[in-house]
Amino acid sequence: MPKMDAILSSKSLHYFLQLIDTMNYTQAAQILGITQPALTQQIKKIEHAIGTPLFGQMGKKLYLTEAGKQLQVGAIKLLGTMNSVVSDIQEFTQADRGNISIGVLESVNCEWLQKFLVKFNQKYPDITINLSCFNRKDLWYNLDNNLIDLAILYIPDVAKKSQASLNNQYEQMKINDERLIILTHLANLEAGEAYPISTFTKQKWVAYPDGFFLTQLMKEKFESRVNIKKKLDISMSFSSTEQLVATAIATNYDTFVSHSYYQAHKNDINLTPVFLKDDKKFLTSIVYRKGKKDVPRVANILAEFKQFLPK
């Protein structure tokens, strides 16, 4: 018996399915660009390999046997799988098409990102970008489990990943230096100056929810420099920076945001911006698993990021 893998090749299965489409050897052979005897011989080889007829004939009309029907189902699935695999491989190896998933930490100011993605899409219209916002826990889960290609977040993220872990498992690209800025109602403070945390112990706050990076920074600052009995007194919480700032402006509550957010919106904010003395500096970075740059489209978008950011 002929070797099964030699007989049931993608070409022979393609011939078989083409004959099913026309149920006519002459027409099928013409479409395939081969002679009718060559097509007939190929079908007979498949039937010989399987050990049963695939086609029957009533008068001049062909029909599929039960074996032929079963092979038809299998051939369609097999060729579909092969085509899908080839498509995936081609997509993986091409820099100008495919999908890229980006996760963004909810409190990160990424107004520049929309401008970048518009320019990137104009240059690479066949790359589909999927952008989602996450809290810190979900963002790391998606990054760890390869559900997103790139994450935009604050580094160091001391509540989740040590810098050593980041260096071992991930790579990162710096976007900009960051700093926490307090927006206060206190009239005796000068904009742009730095004050000790004790200045704000009597203030009430509108803040990001627990677990957000900036809220964590403020809580750590309170607990490390102020009597432990004095906690950060949060009256209202919002995950949206816009709602957070608008509520602070409409109440007597102070708030805190990233310096980059304040710089982008300072003309609309009538609160006094001040810094904390001895505060922690941090970065906004693009973080991705090691090996991601081996995917051409990911390497492509990172290269475009690098060119765009200085602008």
Do 180-280 and 4-93 fall under one CATH topology?
no
**Domain spanning 180-280 has what CATH number?**
3.40.190.10
Q: How far is CA 261 from CA 3, 109, 171, 220, in A?
A: 68, 6, 25, 21
pTM: 0.64
The answer on pLDDT for 156 being more than 80 is no
Of 280, 281, 273, the C-alpha closest to 181 is 273
The pLDDT value recorded for residue 222 is: 83
- Rounded to an integer, the average pLDDT of 5-25 is 81
| CATH class of the domain defined by 100-171+284-308 | alpha beta
Mean pLDDT of 242-251: 95
Distance CA 90, CA 79 (A): 16
- Name the residue with tokens 């290269």: 303
Question: Quick one: which of 185, 162, 155 has its CA closest to 255?
Answer: 185
Query: Rounded mean pLDDT of the chain?
Result: 85
256-303: pLDDT as tens digits: 999 989 998 999 999 999 999 988 888 899 999 888 888 889 999 999
Exposure class string for 2-38: b at 16+ Cβ within 10 A, else e: eeeeebbeeebbebbebbbeeeebeebbeebeeeeee
pLDDT band, very low/low/confident/very high, at 1 (cuts 50, 70, 90): very low
**Residue 229 reports pLDDT greater than 90:** no
DSSP string, 177-220: EE-EEEEE--TTPPTT-EE-GGGGTT--EEEPPTT-HHHHHHHH
The pLDDT of residue 85 is: 65
What is the residue extent of each domain of the chain? Answer: 4-93, 100-171+284-308, 180-280
193 has a pLDDT exceeding 90:
yes
pLDDT at res. 4: 52
Residue bearing tokens 């083409």: 18
pLDDT band for 159, please (50, 70, 90 cuts): very low
Phi and psi at residue 206, to the nearest 5°: -110, 130
> Among 56-65, 71-80, 277-286, where is mean pLDDT lowest?
71-80
Range with the poorest average pLDDT among 80-84, 167-171, 229-233: 80-84
Please state which of the ranges 31-40, 222-231, 265-274, 281-290 shows the lowest mean pLDDT: 222-231
Architecture of domain 4-93: Orthogonal Bundle (1.10)
Query: What is the structure's pLDDT at 246?
Result: 96
User: Average pLDDT, stretch 2-27?
Assistant: 78
What is the per-residue pLDDT for 160? 47
pLDDT in tens, 103-132: 998 888 777 888 899 999 999 999 999 998
